[in-house]
């Protein structure tokens, strides 16, 4: 856990300065991480319950062709991811002048209601729509929470701040996702989503009580936030996340049928696979946060190389139960180490558009989620088997590396042309200004 070693000062709505004790900072960080925990559950639990979702919502197709039904069920995952892609820039732009604490509470309530709707609606089409709506505040929540966490942790800790909030998501894959997956397997996937809704309701209460109440940023504006999209390097960073992270999601979306149909594990073993993956994600996330604060380019390229090796290892050894667990662990470590680096990269390249830069990272990663799940599903539906999404993942990872190399090369050339010393570090970048909590 990241330990705050200082007090933090926030401008309040009345214009005075409020100083937070280390204990208060810890409580606020835990409240933000709880939101990440809930988001991790709602995003990833569908992957472990994909066969159950497909069998219940597409019964006729499932009886006729289970693989085709499972592949179509993967669209539910894509719908959530596309909700993130649409919602992250839109909500970040329109809420940039509101109190960040109030918006975090609103987002938590939004998640609660949309998740309850996902559990109650009767048909595949309606659940699909509910999953899209549930994804809309995802990026904005993580973006705002990352800025607040970075502010509380102090200068030079943007990577660690992003990692702490994302830590809730990764820990969800150790505890929440496996437990809720097991609950859904024993009862119903609908019960599983009700459990996720309870987590979001608790998040709303925790944020309301623990996160400091501060004034909105008077300089923020829709036009100012949208200015981020006029910068070429922002688009490169988005592409790195969307294409490169798509490689991870192509493989992970179909991990449940891969484990049962290729490796030969019983269905009851799926939660244990998810636990191992969650452990890897947690290790990679916090290591990646510290790594990102030391050098973004190195962190991105090293993480991509590790993702490629881990996916290749899984492809070659998926029939062996022990090796499945080993490489699922490594995939979790490598992929999660990449996320904080891309987050900080976008915050740097967005310059003054801090809210947008922090939020659209999750749009890019979830575009990768949608892309990976879609392309992996196409491969499965074409009859290529459950190993084929891993091959798709390898191709997307290579493309992500190529985009990263092009982005970094252009940045270095531009800096040299302007006589700017090029350093692979975040130290020279300004920390987030005091923003509404």
- Return the beta strands (E) in 82-224 as ranges: none
DSSP run (H or E) holding 17: strand 17-20
- Return the beta strands (E) in 114-252 as ranges: none
Look at phi and psi of residue 383 and say left if phi exceeds 0, alpha if psi is from -120 to 50, else beta: left
3-state secondary structure of 412: helix
Closest by CA to 117, choosing from 181, 59, 193, is 193
What confidence score (pLDDT) does residue 14 get?
A: 46
3-state secondary structure of 31: helix
* The token pair that represents 325 in the structure block: 């667990």
DSSP for 113-152 reads HHHHHHHH--SHHHHHHHHHHHHTTHHHHHHHHHHHHHHH
In the numeric block, the tokens 């020279």 are attached to 428
Rounded to whole angstroms, how far apart are CA atoms 137 and 83?
Answer: 8
What confidence score (pLDDT) does residue 435 get?
A: 37
* The token pair that represents 411 in the structure block: 């940045």
DSSP run (H or E) holding 8: strand 8-11
Rounded to whole angstroms, how far apart are CA atoms 345 and 413?
Answer: 17
Question: Please, are residues 98 and 436 in contact by the beta-carbon 8 Å criterion?
Answer: yes
Rounded to whole angstroms, how far apart are CA atoms 32 and 212?
Answer: 11
What confidence score (pLDDT) does residue 244 get?
A: 82
Number of H helices, E strands in the chain: 20, 2
How distant is the alpha carbon of residue 361 from its chain centre? 8
* The token pair that represents 26 in the structure block: 């810890």
437 residues of the chain, pLDDT tens digit each: 445 545 555 555 444 445 667 778 888 889 999 999 999 899 888 877 888 898 999 998 888 888 788 878 888 888 888 888 888 888 877 776 778 888 899 999 999 999 999 999 999 999 999 999 999 999 889 888 877 887 777 665 666 666 777 778 778 878 888 889 889 988 999 999 999 999 999 999 999 998 887 666 666 667 777 777 778 888 888 888 888 888 888 888 888 888 888 989 888 888 788 888 888 888 888 787 777 777 788 888 888 999 999 999 999 998 999 999 999 999 989 888 887 788 778 777 777 676 777 677 777 877 887 788 888 888 888 888 889 999 999 999 999 999 999 988 888 888 787 766 555 555 444 444 433 33
What are the C-alpha distances in Å from 31 to residues 27, 202, 268, 399? 6, 9, 32, 37
Task: Work out the angle between the directed axes of helices 321-349 and 245-252 (0-180°, nearest 10).
Answer: 150
Q: Which domains does the chain have, with CATH numbers?
A: 18-417 (1.20.1250.20)
What contacts 272, CB < 8 A, 6 or more positions away?
Answer: 178, 325
CB-based burial of residue 222 (10 Å sphere; 0-12 exposed, 13-18 middle, 19+ buried)?
middle
């Amino acid at each position: 856990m990241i330990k705050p070693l200082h007090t933090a000062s926030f401008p309040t709505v009345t214009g005075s300065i409020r100083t937070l004790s280390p204990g208060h900072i810890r409580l606020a960080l835990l409240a933000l991480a709880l939101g990440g925990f809930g988001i991790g559950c709602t995003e990833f639990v569908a992957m472990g319950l994909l066969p159950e979702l497909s069998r219940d919502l597409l019964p006729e197709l499932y009886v006729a062709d289970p693989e085709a039904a499972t592949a179509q069920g993967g669209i539910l995952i894509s719908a959530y991811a596309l909700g993130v892609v649409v919602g992250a820039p839109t909500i970040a732009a329109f809420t940039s002048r509101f109190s960040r604490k109030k918006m975090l509470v609103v987002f938590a309530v939004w998640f609660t209601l949309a998740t309850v709707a996902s559990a109650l609606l009767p048909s595949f089409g309606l659940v699909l729509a509910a999953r899209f709506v549930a994804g809309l505040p995802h990026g904005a929540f993580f973006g705002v929470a990352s800025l607040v966490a970075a502010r509380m942790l102090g200068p030079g800790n943007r990577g660690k701040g992003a990692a702490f909030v994302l830590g809730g998501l990764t820990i969800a894959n150790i505890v929440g996702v496996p437990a809720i997956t097991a609950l859904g397997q024993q009862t119903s996937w609908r019960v599983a989503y009700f459990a996720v809704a309870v987590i979001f309701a608790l998040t709303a209460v925790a944020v309301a009580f623990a996160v400091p109440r501060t004034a909105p940023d008077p300089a923020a504006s829709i036009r100012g936030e949208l200015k981020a999209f006029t910068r070429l390097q922002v688009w490169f960073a988005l592409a790195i996340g969307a294409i490169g992270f798509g490689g991870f999601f192509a493989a992970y979306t179909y991990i449940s049928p891969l484990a049962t149909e290729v490796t030969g594990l019983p269905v009851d073993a799926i939660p244990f696979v998810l636990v191992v993956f969650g452990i890897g994600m947690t290790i990679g996330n916090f290591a990646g946060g510290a790594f990102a604060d030391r050098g973004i380019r190195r962190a991105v390229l090293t993480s991509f190389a590790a993702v490629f090796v881990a996916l290749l290892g899984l492809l070659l050894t998926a029939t062996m139960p022990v090796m499945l667990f080993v490489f699922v662990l490594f995939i979790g470590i490598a992929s999660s180490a990449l996320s904080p680096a891309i987050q900080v990269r976008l915050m740097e390249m967005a310059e003054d558009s801090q809210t947008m830069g922090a939020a659209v990272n999750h749009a890019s990663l979830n575009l990768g989620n949608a892309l990976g799940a879609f392309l992996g599903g196409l491969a499965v539906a074409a009859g290529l088997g459950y190993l084929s999404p891993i091959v798709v993942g390898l191709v997307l990872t290579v493309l992500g590396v190529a985009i990263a190399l092009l982005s970094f090369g252009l940045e270095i050339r531009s800096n040299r042309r302007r006589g700017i010393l090029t350093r692979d570090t975040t130290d020279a970048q300004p920390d987030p200004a005091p923003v509404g909590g």
